[in-house]
């Protein structure tokens, strides 16, 4: 079995866990009639803070008019607010409202509790293996969750996989 095969197996298992987690939550973002795109926009505003509509569009990988519509719909639901940029009054910033932040916190807590329940059902040896694996993954993951220059490429990536 090659390291590439092991990586593919891990990715498949990870996708299975994420899919089950997505289906399991008792606190769902879609209960508030939010689309996935609106929820992703709200997550970006909560986690990255106030930002211009252009920056939000870039964060989400959508066009500026799409991001503007997403923010407008979040504003109408009371989950986001628009505010004037103090540095450039021609520019508008979007930010999560208190209600938007609360929704994201409830959703995250619900997901955390689901994961906690699954982990509590694991035997001690399996849980220890999971912890060591997650520690190893966290050690190579870039800070802040971006895929910047810390991701191994080319020969460095091959050497890392061969070392496994």
List, for residues 39-78, the tens digit of each pLDDT value.
999 999 999 999 999 999 999 999 999 999 999 999 999 9
Domain ranges of the chain: 28-127
pLDDT at 92 over 70: yes
pLDDT at 130 over 60: yes
Q: Side-chain half-sphere of 144: how many Cα atoms within 13 Å?
A: 7
pTM tops 0.75, yes or no: no
β-pairing verdict for 51-52 and 92-96? antiparallel
28-127 belongs to CATH 1.10.10.10: yes
Rounded mean pLDDT, 86-91:
83
d(CA 131, CA 142) in angstroms, rounded, equals 18
pLDDT at 85 over 60: yes
Of the chain, the percentage scoring pLDDT greater than 90 comes to: 61
More confident residue, 136 or 148: 136
Could you write out the DSSP letters of every residue in 76-136? HTTSEEEEE-SS-TTSEEEEE-HHHHHHHHHHHHHHHHHHHHHHHTS-HHHHHHHHHHHHH
């Amino acid at each position: 079995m090659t390291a590439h095969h092991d990586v593919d197996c891990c990715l498949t298992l990870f996708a299975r866990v994420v899919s089950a987690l997505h289906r399991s939550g008792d606190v769902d973002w879609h209960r508030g009639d939010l689309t996935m795109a609106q929820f992703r926009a709200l997550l970006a505003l909560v986690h990255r803070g106030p930002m211009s509509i252009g920056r939000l569009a870039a964060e989400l990988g959508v066009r500026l008019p799409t991001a503007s519509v997403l923010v407008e719909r979040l504003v109408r639901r009371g989950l986001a607010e628009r505010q004037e940029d103090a540095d450039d009054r021609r520019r508008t910033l979007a930010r999560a409202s208190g209600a938007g932040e609360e929704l994201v916190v409830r959703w995250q807590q619900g997901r955390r509790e689901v994961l906690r329940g699954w982990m509590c059902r694991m035997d001690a040896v399996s849980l220890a293996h999971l912890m060591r694996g997650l520690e190893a993954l966290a050690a190579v993951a870039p800070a802040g969750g971006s895929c910047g220059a810390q991701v191994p490429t080319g020969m460095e990536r091959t050497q890392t996989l061969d070392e496994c």
